[in-house]
Amino acid sequence: MEIGFVGLGKMGMNMVTRLRRGNGHRVVACDRVPELIAKAEETGAVGAASLEELVATLARPRIVWVMVPSGLPTEDTIRTLGELLEPDDVIVDGGNTQFHDDVRRAATLKDQRIHYVDAGTSGGIWGLEVGYCLMVGGDHDVVNRIAPILTTLAPEDGWARVGGHGAGHYVKMVHNGIEYSMMQSYAEGFELMSRSDYKLDLFNIADLWMHGSVVRSWLLELGASTLKEDPTLKGLQGYVHDSGEGRWMLMDALDKDVPVPTLSAALFTRFRSRQDEPFSEKMLAALRRAFGGHSVRRK
């Protein structure tokens, strides 16, 4: 298939590369940074210096995947694409968008007879090799149209249409809320062991738990790798960002009277991490860096 791809950051570039490697999809890649466009061209993608050039290069009906930072950058990109694209074209938002915005955008674009799909994307910097779990929202026939792209990006059985417009990002929001809670639980356990009189080898324990333990997971595996390199995490500050989904999930839970105490504690701990440096926050920072390539603050 042919697809336009806007946004060549750490995930976007890997997704373009996977599309080119997988089934040789024709990709027209666009970014504000010329060096990133040149890097995409090395994978066999066709470079486009602007959204106008990207749209002009694609054959109709077009598919354009947007992978830029959430908030205003995504909003501006989709609004501009809506002005450039034509009826029956498709815009896919694969970033971390709030699901309410998906519903609004889909309705606006529908008036222009342009289709909209929201694709919650999980996999971080490891997605290039293992694939991206894709939670997709939109009309059945439109999702089916882009299925070859989704199949290439995802591992086997790694994508699904989960509902109508906004459902993909809603499910991804909950996914990330659970992720927050899992990482917080690991961080607290490892902090307690770090203060034990037994002088525990945290890497060996994390590695041990990967063999048959009920708490084994990919996150724990990444944590073990990090502790092997830096057993006391002395190279990190315990400063942990949040990208918004945890806040959105908490607000949605408040609206629905659903108790989410674990998420609440995890989110508030991230807030606290920006004020002091306990071990648990260092562990969170290390895990985010390990699974998603997110930036960390160093001493």
Same structural domain, 86 and 26:
yes
Note the pLDDT of residue 243. Answer: 86
Q: How far is CA 124 from CA 12, 38, 169, in A?
A: 10, 22, 16
Catalytic annotation present for 172: yes
Please report whether residue 252 resides in a domain.
yes
34-58 per-residue burial string, b: 16 or more CB within 10 A, e: under 16 = eebbebbeebebbbbeebeebbebb
Catalytic residue chosen out of the listed positions 53, 86, 179, 245: 179
Catalytic annotation present for 10: no
Catalytic residue chosen out of the listed positions 172, 188, 245, 282: 172
Same structural domain, 57 and 136:
yes
Same structural domain, 218 and 111:
no
Same structural domain, 63 and 193:
no
Please report whether residue 90 resides in a domain.
yes
Could you give the strand order of the β-sheet that contains 2-6, starting from the edge strand earlier in sequence? 46-48, 26-30, 2-6, 63-66, 90-93, 115-122, 133-137, 159-163
Alpha-carbon distance of 53 to 47, in angstroms, equals: 9
Please report whether residue 299 resides in a domain.
no
Same structural domain, 154 and 197:
no
Q: What is the CATH number of the domain that holds 185?
A: 1.10.1040.10
Q: How many domains does the chain have?
A: 2
Note the pLDDT of residue 276. Answer: 65
Taking 50 as the pLDDT cut, the residues of the chain under it are none
Please report whether residue 61 resides in a domain.
yes
Q: Domain span at residue 233?
A: 172-292
Same structural domain, 184 and 123:
no
Same structural domain, 140 and 249:
no
Please report whether residue 57 resides in a domain.
yes
Alpha-carbon distance of 273 to 169, in angstroms, equals: 27
- pTM passes above 0.85: yes
Same structural domain, 131 and 177:
no
Note the pLDDT of residue 129. Answer: 93
Q: What is the CATH number of the domain that holds 152?
A: 3.40.50.720
Please report whether residue 274 resides in a domain.
yes
Note the pLDDT of residue 292. Answer: 86
Last residue of a domain, one of 105, 129, 164: 164
Same structural domain, 121 and 13:
yes
Please report whether residue 107 resides in a domain.
yes
Last residue of a domain, one of 113, 130, 164: 164
Alpha-carbon distance of 286 to 165, in angstroms, equals: 34
Please report whether residue 297 resides in a domain.
no
Same structural domain, 16 and 124:
yes
